[in-house]
Amino acid sequence: MNVKSIERNGNQATIVVEIDKELMESGVQKAYMKARKNIMIPGFRKGKAPRKMIESMYGAHVFYEDGLEEIFPEVYDFAVIKQDVKAVGRPSLTDMQISEDNIVTLTLTTDVYPEVTLGDYKGLEIEKAEPTVSDEQVQAELDRMAQNVASTETVERAAQMGDTANIDFEGFDNGVPFNGGKGEAFDLKLGSGSFVPGFEEQVVGMSAGEEKDIDITFPEDYHAELAGKAVVFHVKVNKVTATNVPAQDDEFAKDVSDFETLDELKADIRAKALESAQKQIDSAFEQACVDKASENATVEMPNGLIEQELDNQMERFAYQLQMSGYSVEQYAKMMGGDLNTMRSAFRPAAEKQAKANVTLAKIVEAEGIVVSDDDINVEYESMAKQYELEVEKVKEMVPAEEIKTSLETRKAVAVIVDSAVAVAPKAVKSESEE
């Protein structure tokens, strides 16, 4: 092969490469061997037609496009990697010329890794709050724990807020039942806000066996068919269940924890909440440091890098949805859009992350950050322990180069964060002060 020219224009490179006849012929022959089993030529059994016969009928270069695909890894290695063209993604074939003596000249166009000019990334002043836990937060956790051990009993009195009413109901719009407005033996926690405003309040006071009509007006922001409409629900209460929440005292503390007193339990709740709050603050501080360093950098981002990051984010989100039993297509439909709508929504975050990635990579270069084989092996061992797998199995699943890049990125983040100066958040002005 012979690279005839490489032209760079911003974040794009155009490479003109001439392919050896022998290499091209090897690719064409491979393409023919794959394709001939599906080709029928009169006078020959299916899959037995000679290559020359097929070329005479369909054109001398009928297998050239597929042949190029066969040899593309070698072309890419020679014309891109060995020429130190830092391509983003797979180059596009923009032109293919075949001379009379069958010499093939390709024109490849590719996005290239951008030039990054770093701004300030050390000694950044970044706001960082102090972790706090209010008495209300501690009480909310105590209430949650109490609810978890609460008992229930069927009562013969009228339903009160906090009770659970088992109900049959059906909604009518001008006397006609509407879709989605019917339910049977539904357990409704009164005061939970599960139903439209006004519904639960009108169930309060009803007893088991009682039936009545409830007048409800749907909110204006409800789905189109019922938005703002006045409807009637016929409701029958089948059963009323009361929840008996234990008193929060020392005995309660003994029942729900290893502590002897309520004060000890409260102290533990507060300590754990402070630890959790500190982790969240530290994580937010780290992200703010990286964001600021990225904002200070100057770079013209190629679309290919943004699309790669967008693909990664969509893939991660699809996996999270899958774990919840949904597909990304189902989620997009529920949100009133499609995959293109979702990609558009994800794009700003992808653009931001892609710029942060190239900024961190430049810091790795500027700081001379090195990741040793020992560092990589330690990371493999850590991952093996985390996922309860053999180290060799993890090595099969995760390439060493991927581990190396991840560790380099972490060290670059540490350079930014460890040198950053935490400052108190600015007080938020009230409307009267503005």
pLDDT value, residue 411: 97
Mean pLDDT of 30-42: 87
pLDDT value, residue 434: 55
CA distance 76 to 204: 73
More confident residue, 165 or 10: 165
CA distance 407 to 294: 19
Do residues 160 and 204 make contact, with C-beta atoms less than 8 angstroms apart? yes
What is the 3-class SS of the chain, one letter each residue? CEEEEEEEECCEEEEEEEECHHHHHHHHHHHHHHHHHHCCCCCCCCCCCCHHHHHHHHCCCCCHHHHHHHHHHHHHHHHHHCCCCCEEEEEEEEEEEECCCCCEEEEEEEEECCCEECCCCCCCEEECCCCCCCHHHHHHHHHHHHHHCCEEEEECCCCCCCCEEEEEEEEEECCEEEEEEEEEEEEEECCCCCCCCCHHHHHCCCCCCCEEEEEEECCCCCCCCCCCCEEEEEEEEEEEEEEECCCCCHHHHHHHCCCCCHHHHHHHHHHHHHHHHHHHHHHHHHHHHHHHHHHHCEECCCHHHHHHHHHHHHHHHHHHHHHCCCCHHHHHHHCCCCHHHHHHHHHHHHHHHHHHHHHHHHHHHHCCCCCCHHHHHHHHHHHHHHHCCCHHHHHHHCCHHHHHHHHHHHHHHHHHHHHCEEECCCCCCCCCCC
Do residues 54 and 38 make contact, with C-beta atoms less than 8 angstroms apart? no
More confident residue, 9 or 347: 347
Do residues 26 and 20 make contact, with C-beta atoms less than 8 angstroms apart? no
Residue type, 321: L
* pLDDT exceeds 60 at position 380: yes
- CA distance between the termini of the chain: 69
Mean pLDDT of 366-385: 96
- For 170, the 3-state DSSP assignment is strand
What percentage of the chain exceeds 70 in pLDDT?
Answer: 98
Which tokens go with 297?
């950098």
- Range 151-244: architecture per CATH: Roll (3.10)
**Given 3.90.550.10, 3.40.50.2300, 1.10.760.10, 3.30.70.1050, which CATH number is that of 2-112?**
3.30.70.1050
CA distance 324 to 110: 38
pTM above 0.75, yes or no: no
pLDDT value, residue 90: 87
Do residues 195 and 188 make contact, with C-beta atoms less than 8 angstroms apart? yes
Q: Which residue has the tokens 């929440």?
A: 245
Q: Where are the domains of the chain?
A: 2-112, 114-149+256-295+367-434, 151-244
Residue among 92, 60, 55 nearest 75 (CA)? 92
Which tokens go with 339?
């995959």
pLDDT value, residue 187: 95
Give ∠ CA 412-417-422 in degrees, rounded to 5. Answer: 165
Which tens digits make up the pLDDT trace of 211-255? Answer: 999 999 998 888 778 888 999 999 999 999 999 999 999 999 999
Q: Look over the chain and give the mean of its residue pLDDT values, rounded to a whole number.
A: 92
pLDDT value, residue 431: 57
Q: Which residue has the tokens 């699943």?
A: 397
